[in-house]
Amino acid sequence: MKNLNDYPLWTAIVTPMNADSTVDYPTFEKILKQQEAANVAVVILGSTGEALNLNKDECKKILEFGLGLNLKVPVMTGIGGFNQKDTLEYVSYLNTLSGLDAYLVVTPLYAKPGEQGQTQWFKAILDLANKPCMLYNVPGRTGVKMNFNAIKNLKDHKNFWAIKEASGSVEDFKKYGESAPNARLYSGDDGMVPDFYPHRCVGLVSVASNAWPAPTRAYVEKTLAGKLSNTEADLWKKACDTLFIAANPVPVKNLMHAKGQIKTNVLRAPLHHLDLADNSPVLNADKNITTWFKEHN
């Protein structure tokens, strides 16, 4: 049995595409194996994996393919949507899969529910789930902040394992920790691990580690050991910021393509690689991170 708490870094895996925007399974296997080799846990079909741009049959095939590799590291998958019946049907399907270790459960999309709406939404999923759940705050994508009182209402649920906070707010990170004292707190912002570290942060769910698995692991472990200098923190923040100068995962896919980690930088509509017209910021960031890793590890 894999111990989820042994993994401070989880990579929200990109879904590599062929030129015709079908899924490139050989490359998908290769990047999952790279994460395993770096001893990094993986999230399949999160927002970085373009889950909402894929249909349910594609999602099932992707997930089942990834689980079929029998990775030695834990595997989490994303649960997101706005139709409760459809979402619970999907959770029931996920419950039947072997090799799946956890669920990443995002705040409901678009509808902007308040305390009671969020409490009931999350509770229905937590009640049905047969895996530990990480509740996920990303208001920039969902249109609503994860409600602090909803988290308080659910703090003792047996399947409530962790929180992923991706609003970029240190104050909110602290408040989520106060609302759920037993939940493990993960940064959902690559560059903010040093900011969150003093406030019970135990790890990162990362976009950057798609391109930089071993360096990102070193960065997180060094931060959590209290050994990352201010200069290093600044370097990482600037590098990670380049991965969000266009909608995620446009920049990281462009970078991975430039580095030869994936065959194309194709994304599923409505995303498009040409929304990042200038690759130089991510290429410069890659140079800086590669140099840092060689010098410090």
Separation between Cα atoms, residue 193 and residue 294, nearest integer Å: 21
Q: Choosing from 164, 176, 219, 253, which is the catalytic residue?
A: 164
Separation between Cα atoms, residue 178 and residue 161, nearest integer Å: 15
- Token pair 């065959």 is found at 263
Half-sphere exposure of 207 (CA within 13 A, CB side): 29
Q: Is 164 a catalytic residue?
A: yes
Q: Is 175 a catalytic residue?
A: no
- Token pair 């619970």 is found at 88
Q: Choosing from 7, 90, 103, 136, which is the catalytic residue?
A: 136
The values of phi and psi at residue 19, to 5°, are -60, -30
Nearest partner of 271 among 10, 49, 76, 69, judged by Cα: 49
Separation between Cα atoms, residue 234 and residue 240, nearest integer Å: 10
Separation between Cα atoms, residue 210 and residue 294, nearest integer Å: 18
Angle at 105 between CA 173 and CA 48, to 5 degrees: 85
Q: Which residues are catalytic?
A: 136, 164
